[in-house]
Structure 1
């Protein structure tokens, strides 16, 4: 084994909105990795439309820079626990992690999730305390909290002796002592110097057969599949013959001799800044992309085609999903008006294709040929898939999300629980405690930090958090921060009604009229405005009482020659409540569906015909 001192491989991990993607921007800019005028916007690695709109990282992306004759490979990872499958697989490519922590918030639950994976793999920790320019921050307190976190995760002595740098990624400077106002500002490149000094160089065997574990993949229009990962041993050149091995879960990798295919590496690509460029040779320790295979899954192994020299990695293992929804063909009256792909065959192909790169997702066929059960890590994980599909032109219906329950050894039902951390202004803590108590939450800790903010910790069922985020932001007037992480399975709390009120259901097809909607406003809150096409069974609002009400919003005022007393009254409509995809998913009940099309989101009953719906309700009771 030899040490390649010219390379450092690191993953950047942090909680959502702690500034890791902004930090990558600053480091790439400092190292001159961008061409002139190449980066016109912030968060350069957040290349997807959804990532830019939501301000979060969804997929892991490798990049690289050159600093003081060292090549530093950086992998930007998601901070949300729903995309933990992305994190678990890319940690195989690196030898150290750059742990970014907000100086104000400290380590959050989802920081613990990713850090626990890194500690378990024995990776070196380098701590970056970010946002030291934020008012009310406690940079040294964040360091102490990180140390306590690593101790609780059984980190070894080397991991506990982590180097620390204090910085502001947005302002692009670092300091040695954040509490000292006279402390001189250092360049952000201080972090790069620390990486070279403290991150271990990869130890590789250059004489062994070439072997690479596919950590992530990409599909290019011209090159086809691109297998991205770190070359574990040996060397590869273009046109070299390679074997693609796909071990089944639970199979010993050493006994895997069958390969999915043997192919020639048509292209060999490396990363620099935002670009991929072609190279003629890759050695063990490099993070590269290889093209030429006809099929590819995350977790596959690329190795020597010689049967005696083959070596396979085990099948990639990730934490199981906790939430499931059913995708089905849109069978409503408006089906096919907006979408490009509307059949069950196209829907199934797209969902099963997602499994190749989204390792935390599970897709299963159901008793109906028109329905597919899709299981994921959480509400955000599934809603991002739905939003991506609707933008691609797919049209479908989804059911209400449900948690995946299981039976323990005693035959009792168990459901997933989550650890929730809430930070909010102290004046709103009472409302938060009351709402979470109704949803089955149990407070496990409470701390007042003395500046008007309260930190609370809860253990609660995962289904209790479905749809709570928007309610939480309303209750805390936008001042609250909440984060949760899967904590394990616990006792099932039985059936609970999630929605206290009924809905307003359309009687017959037509177009909504201001005249009708003005009269329905007293009955509840409307979800649609005037001149909106509707169909029988569609939900247009929330009833003010706990029962469903069938209404006709499509009646216009009758015009006659007789002047009525209220003829000149002007009608005013309250602006409708427009639900986002996540809010609509959380709102619907078991007998309802969310119709997702490229242009609209519609709530509807599962059975559109009123007579059929009444008959099904009688059978259920």
Structure 2
């Protein structure tokens, strides 16, 4: 088969609220572009991008999938991201490697909670975006109204490129719309908001029509305008027009010259070839057997490079900027890592913050070690999981975002490692902050050889301030190298406060310190600093902070009263609901401790007709008498003799 002539390549993400038809659209793109012989079905478990058994069984995507097609000279690397809010970390990582995105919106359900969150992420990333209004064949489709909702959501012009015929029936079809005729020309020119084009419109509509495509390409590329397509992915309706729009209006990213740089957006563990790192190259090139610098400044050699062709992987000797590739041989790499030298302006992403902590227990206690190893691999694939190992109690804890993620983890552990695992009821991840100002002091002078004196001032800060550190000690009093040890040890020690939770919203000032030219061991300040910090926290006292979740709730108006009662019962604070077309949209702030079963309760309260999306908002003071203590991992610095013994033993082994 002759290789198509490539005029540009685009890394295009497909994102949507769950059940909007995102994976079905991806299947139709693969079929229309000739990458597969038949489009797979999510309902039948035959979707080619849903490779995990748990995805086929549940009919949802839980991992980012990648495929590649050619369309009219454009190579499209398609990245299909999960739609459920429990897997928002996968979506955020994907956005950081995209050139543009297709946001799939159901023309029946309209703008759903996860749609709003995705729109917020797309706007924050400044990504060009195409809108695909799906399910126009379904009864209840209201494409014109949903388009207006989308325009309001993004706060930018949305330009439809086709129109729907026989909407709401299986005979649904689409016809192209010209942007250069009549009122549509004026609307398109105004949407581009470029002064020369506006002047052309006033003098010659014909000249304006000729200049419009180039101006529209700039406007779309700068995310000032969103082209929109209507269709029905189940039947492939509108899919070709979507691909045409991507080929015409989306631009390949300019690849800066210079050194190799890539970001890892996905990690898999192949049972035969080992760890596979899916990367997007931003600059430079990469050859097989080349050494690359991974996170942490270590260098590792790439032992194999593969590229995506259709839904298959094929070997490659070299890849260039803007390519998607799969790299093997990088044993230390994790999802989200940047490889090589990052160019200026590399797009960052915000990792979704897990708010729940759950204990994982194997059905067979003798498989505890195997479970920990499996969880470590899963953490490399999704760093937000953050495995915590309680050595004293031989317990494994994992951080998660919700119930669905726990159920998926159970399925993955069984599918990949044959492990039957149960998770305990999750606990909310609280934080601590000092109640008042206080001093912390430690004079670590025995048993010799040792000499480290540390004195801190602790001050509470407003919510959301994080931790601030300052040293007011001169290098003559305490050499810089020991001050650096103090700072490093301090931030490590802040991971567990008096109640076992991370300490935040506090300023720590090093006000005094002392070393000895003979007796001070290079690592003494790693022992003294946690004890000084805990001494200060004990004097100040700490209070718990609880995480607050922002809920987006949609349902028919008749269920508004029940929804408000449910929110009130769960300590929710909410704004006035927005009413439209017989539905309400309500935003509420609810403590995370109250949200674990909330989606199920909301579904019951709305007879399954409601839609619920959630995202972490902030931490705030936990009401007195509420919240949970957490058992400390490792020795307690307040138990001075035991802590010194354990710390010295660990440091000696580290030497």
Task: Give the TM-score normalised by structure 1.
Answer: 0.66
Match of 1:413 in 2: 544
Q: Deviations over 1:440-467 (max 9, x none)?
A: 123323244344x444433222222212
Q: Number of residues paired by the alignment?
A: 455
Distance in 1 (CA, whole Å) between partners of 2:111 and 2:427 is 29
Distance in 1 (CA, whole Å) between partners of 2:96 and 2:612 is 29
What is the aligned counterpart of 1:237 among 272, 275, 287?
Answer: 287
Whether 1:476 aligns to 2:476 is no
What is the aligned counterpart of 2:247 among 179, 184, 196?
Answer: 196
- Say which SS state the counterpart of residue 318 (structure 1) adopts: coil
1:219: Cα distance to partner?
2.1
Match of 1:278 in 2: 315
What is the aligned counterpart of 1:394 among 405, 419, 426?
Answer: 419
Match of 1:557 in 2: none
Distance in 1 (CA, whole Å) between partners of 2:19 and 2:39 is 26
Match of 2:645 in 1: none
Distance in 2 (CA, whole Å) between partners of 1:96 and 1:148 is 20
Indicate how the Cα distance of structure 1 residues 494 and 151 shifts in structure 2: closer, same or farther if over 3 A, else same: farther
Match of 2:359 in 1: 326
Distance in 2 (CA, whole Å) between partners of 1:388 and 1:495 is 38
Q: After TM superposition, where is structure 1 displaced by more than 6 Å over at least 4 residues in a row?
A: 36-40, 309-316
Shifted more, 387-396 versus 223-232: the winner is 387-396
Task: Check conservation: 2:286, 2:319, Cα contact below 8 A.
Answer: yes
For 1:383-532, what aligned pairs fall within 5 Å after superposition? 383-391=407-415, 392-407=417-432, 409=461, 412-451=543-582, 453-493=583-623
Distance in 1 (CA, whole Å) between partners of 2:588 and 2:278 is 39
Q: Deviations over 1:112-152 (max 9, x none)?
A: 33333332232111111112223333323322322332239
Whether 1:221 aligns to 2:352 is no
Write 1 or 2 for the structure with the bigger share of helix. Answer: 2
1:271: Cα distance to partner?
1.1
Whether 1:127 aligns to 2:191 is no
- Say which SS state the counterpart of residue 69 (structure 2) adopts: strand
Q: Deviations over 1:265-296 (max 9, x none)?
A: 33321112221122333221111112233443
Q: RMSD between aligned alpha carbons?
A: 3.4
- Say which SS state the counterpart of residue 173 (structure 1) adopts: coil
Q: Deviations over 1:417-476 (max 9, x none)?
A: 22223333444443333233211123323244344x444433222222212333333333
Distance in 1 (CA, whole Å) between partners of 2:331 and 2:233 is 41
1:93: Cα distance to partner?
1.9
Distance in 2 (CA, whole Å) between partners of 1:103 and 1:127 is 11
Task: Structure 1: state its 5+ residue gaps.
Answer: 175-187, 248-257, 498-588, 592-621
Indicate how the Cα distance of structure 1 residues 107 and 454 shifts in structure 2: closer, same or farther if over 3 A, else same: closer
Distance in 2 (CA, whole Å) between partners of 1:311 and 1:147 is 32
1:24: Cα distance to partner?
0.6
Distance in 2 (CA, whole Å) between partners of 1:462 and 1:138 is 34
Match of 2:329 in 1: 292
Match of 2:402 in 1: 378
Shifted more, 121-130 versus 137-146: the winner is 137-146
- Say which SS state the counterpart of residue 84 (structure 1) adopts: helix
Match of 1:67 in 2: 71
Shifted more, 28-37 versus 14-23: the winner is 28-37
Task: Give the TM-score normalised by structure 2.
Answer: 0.63
Distance in 2 (CA, whole Å) between partners of 1:233 and 1:414 is 42
- Say which SS state the counterpart of residue 110 (structure 2) adopts: coil
Task: Check conservation: 1:344, 1:369, Cα contact below 8 A.
Answer: no
Whether 1:9 aligns to 2:59 is no
Task: Check conservation: 2:113, 2:553, Cα contact below 8 A.
Answer: no
Indicate how the Cα distance of structure 1 residues 445 and 79 shifts in structure 2: closer, same or farther if over 3 A, else same: farther
Indicate how the Cα distance of structure 1 residues 124 and 465 shifts in structure 2: closer, same or farther if over 3 A, else same: same
Distance in 1 (CA, whole Å) between partners of 2:138 and 2:224 is 26
Distance in 1 (CA, whole Å) between partners of 2:560 and 2:344 is 56
Task: Check conservation: 2:104, 2:133, Cα contact below 8 A.
Answer: yes
Match of 1:26 in 2: 28
Indicate how the Cα distance of structure 1 residues 313 and 299 shifts in structure 2: closer, same or farther if over 3 A, else same: farther
Q: Deviations over 1:311-361 (max 9, x none)?
A: 998997624321111234x5xxxx53xxxx743322222222211111221
What is the aligned counterpart of 2:97 among 90, 93, 96?
Answer: 93
Whether 1:211 aligns to 2:261 is yes
Indicate how the Cα distance of structure 1 residues 468 and 310 shifts in structure 2: closer, same or farther if over 3 A, else same: closer
Match of 1:52 in 2: 56
1:9: Cα distance to partner?
1.2
For 1:113-152, what aligned pairs fall within 5 Å after superposition? 113-151=117-155
- Say which SS state the counterpart of residue 32 (structure 1) adopts: coil
Task: Structure 2: state its 5+ residue gaps.
Answer: 1-5, 157-192, 194-218, 434-460, 463-541, 631-655
Match of 1:508 in 2: none
